[in-house]
Structure 1
């Protein structure tokens, strides 16, 4: 059996759904279909998820929501009309969209998640009906019925390990199951979403739960490239990646696959392939536990901006027992997670994503850190980007980091910080954001 997931661009219109139908029909092993909400039909279009966010904001601020409701319903209706899907499914979708505006607002921490999940949930209903009308014996399965029981963490749900026993029972169904991605159900029966883009996570969870032979993730590109095609013209395509390599690349800006989606499939040792809905015959990029062919020292280069560094200096810091723990405790007190922590004997830098910081939070951290740590200097450095060169075979080649550093120096790019983990899967360079694009181009020219 195979699990197949389709992203929003693959489900944006009747034309795209026709391609999806043909893809599922070509392989009767594709028994589990995980779907996103309809994406953009063209550059100026609105994703259904974004429309649901606007609907939520109007509802919670007491504004009239009629226009929001009608736009979302009309979006599904247009797909049904073009595909000739019977009106019974639209009645269910319309009722569901309208019912969102009857939910309690106060003391309802799951309200936002419930609004957002409606995009995937209603699309799954529509697609199951479309399949059934066109020769595929299909069944819509709500995440509760599928057994996707999650922690009560709005916007950041995690699957409860006990869920896998229930998910495994999905193999007993005779039909092709259409399952909405992006959300699960808490033990208290509340809708709770994974982080944004979490339909990839649902697909991976289902693949692990049913012990699939393959998890196919269909999107709008021919697999994964060695660098962002918006920066590098015609970059090399990657035919095979390891899970560790993909994790590093996804973390550092490769948005083709949600980085959290790798874990369930990785633990269950299930191969994953990234394929193109618009070019399904292309082999795509296969992601596996262990490489079957020898790789280059660097298989991919990724960059991501919007980072800030908290820089702390204190003479004889290395002799002070518990100094690092105190720093991390301060961040924990403000519910802030860190990404990286390059250190020296008297210096420490904590790399944090900008979205976790506000001007007020920075002031509070500075004050508390000053009171607790008594540093010589402490300041925030903004406008930083992370550049990763990634490759599991890097440890078998001497001088990879030197080549990268020389390439950056030749391009006039200053390395603010450098870090390499013990696994030697990647080397991370931190540069100023205004040099991110130039850094990626210089490294690509060096290694490709």
Structure 2
């Protein structure tokens, strides 16, 4: 059995949905299909999820929502009519949306429930289209499928009992179409996953049914070794490991949200990234182990929007608990940190820029000064992170020398360097203005 997931661009309109149906029917092992909400039809279009968020805002704010609702339904209606499906399907989708609006319990529930209508509508439309082609297919609601999650609106985590429930899908015949992005709490409450939620659903379903392969169809032939917006025509990655993918997705690779593969990773299910518009391309395989490529640089990731919280104190290394107390101040302010390289008398904490602002920033600086009695504390903004990723890089002699040569040739100063014991990545902090230039030189050094 294969579980196959289609992203927003793959279900954006009727033309794309026809491609999806052809891909599913081309392989009899593709038994479970997970779909996203309709994405953009063009670069200046609006995603269905954004239309639903606007609708939710109107409902929650007790404003007139007729125009926002019409925008949502017009999009669904266009797809249904072009696929020559029954108008009853349009009415079913609209009744579901109207029910959520009339049941408006709380802002959190209304937002989650309305956001889920994009994926839910896609699943109902695809299953109906498959049925119109005389294919045995069924829409399966996440509650019916057994996707049980924690009751955390917008931040749901799948619960272990889901996997046993999902395995029962083997007992059903035909093609099963499941909407991504949401599940149900033990109390029966609809709750959505975080960003990248449909990928998370696909991974959960693949783990639950113990699939032989999880195929994730998007709008690119494969994962590239570097951002194609920075380097023209970069090389494609044919195979990489879960660890490599998680590092790459965390640091700016947009194919996957970095938590999306965790269920598949735990179940050791291989994942294949493929292109809906070019399904014959081999794509990129993501596997548990990739011995053939051990020790090489697999990809270069980069991302802007970081800052450094720098703290200095003489004889810091002799002060037991200093690091814990510093990080405790951040925890008290509900701030998560990304990295924390340190020296004998100083320590830097790398944060996302949006984590620290205004009064919160002033309060934290004051607390560090008063509670830790430091010699210096300051903040440096406008940082970018550039990351080399590859299993076993730490055992490759001369790799750091190659990297620093690229920085020298790009004339970009290294503000921070960090390599963990995992041997999967080497990270460099640079001024954001030099990020793209150094990525281009690193690509030349390791891939050309």
The two structures share one fold, judged by TM-score above 0.5: yes
Q: In structure 2, what is the Cα distance between the partners aligned to 1:151 and 1:40?
A: 30
Residues 1:65 and 2:65 are matched in the alignment: yes
Q: Shift of residue 295 of structure 1?
A: 5.2
1:144-155 maps to which residues of 2 (within 5 A)? 144-155=143-154
SS at match of 1:418: strand
* Match of residue 110 from structure 2: 111
* 1:273 Cα deviation from its structure 2 partner: 0.3
State yes or no: 1:98 paired with 2:98. Answer: yes
Larger mean Cα displacement after TM superposition, 199-208 or 164-173:
164-173
**RMSD of aligned C-alpha atoms?**
1.3
Aligned length: 447
| 3-state SS of paired residue (1:21) | helix
2: CA distance, partners of 1:363 / 1:134: 63
Deviations 1:389-436 (A, max 9, x none): 111142342011121112112211011100001021110001111111
Alignment-derived partner of residue 430 in structure 1: 429
Displacement of 1:62: 2.5
Residue 51 of structure 2 contacts residue 72 of structure 2 at CA under 8 Å; is this kept in 1?
yes
- SS where residue 216 of structure 2 aligns? strand
Separation in structure 2 between the aligned mates of residue 325 and residue 443 of structure 1, nearest angstrom = 35
Indicate whether 1:199 and 2:198 are aligned.
yes
Check conservation: 1:311, 1:347, Cα contact below 8 A: yes
Equivalent residue, structure 2, for 1:419: 418
Deviation sequence 1:141-199 (CA, Å, 0-9, x none):
11111111111222221111122111111111112111111111112222221111211
- Are 2:248 and 1:249 equivalent residues in the alignment? yes
- SS of the residue corresponding to residue 166 of structure 1 reads helix
Residues 1:304 and 2:303 aligned together: yes
The whole-number CA distance in structure 2 between the counterparts of 1:184 and 1:356 is 29
Match runs of 1:35-434 below 5 Å: 35-104=35-104, 106=106, 108-291=107-290, 293-294=292-293, 297-434=296-433
2:442 alignment partner in structure 1: 443
> Residue 365 of structure 1: CA displacement?
1.4
Contact in 2 for aligned 1:181/1:199 (Cα 8 Å): yes
> Is the partner of 2:160 in helix, strand or coil?
coil
Aligned partners of 1:228, 1:370: CA distance in 2, in Å? 40
Give the Å deviation of 1:233: 0.6
SS in 1 for 2:49: helix
Separation in structure 2 between the aligned mates of residue 178 and residue 357 of structure 1, nearest angstrom: 42
Which deviates more from structure 2 when the two are superposed, residues 95-104 or residues 282-291?
95-104
Runs of 4+ off more than 4 Å: none
Aligned with 2:144: secondary structure?
A: helix
**What's the offset of the Cα at 1:97?**
2.2
Encode CA deviations 1:232-271: one digit per residue, 9 max, x unaligned. 1110011000111111111111101121112111111100
Greater mean deviation of Cα atoms: 34-43 or 286-295: 286-295
- Per-residue CA deviations over 1:323-371 (Å, capped at 9, x if unaligned) read 1111121111111111111111111111111232332221221122222
TM-score (norm. length: structure 2): 0.97
Kept in 1: contact 2:101–2:110 (CA 8 A): no
Contact kept? 1:69, 1:98, Cα under 8 Å: no
Unaligned runs of 5+ in 1: none
Partner of 2:50: helix, strand, or coil?
helix
Q: Distance in 2 between matches of 1:95 and 1:447?
A: 55
TM-score (norm 1): 0.97
Specify the SS of the correspondent of 1:110. Answer: helix
Distance 1:358 1:189 in 2: 38
1:57–1:382 Cα change, 3 Å: same
Q: Which moved more, 1:21-30 or 1:151-160?
A: 151-160
1:296 deviates by 6.4
Match of 1:23 in 2: 23
| 1:12 is the counterpart of 2:12 | yes
Q: 1:399 to 1:77 in 2, by over 3 A?
A: same
Aligned with 1:293: secondary structure? helix
Q: Tell whether the 8 Å contact from 2:295 to 2:396 is kept in structure 1 after alignment.
A: no
SS of corresponding position for 1:109: helix
Separation of aligned partners in 2, 1:182 and 1:37: 9
Deviation at 1:105, TM superposition (A): 5.5
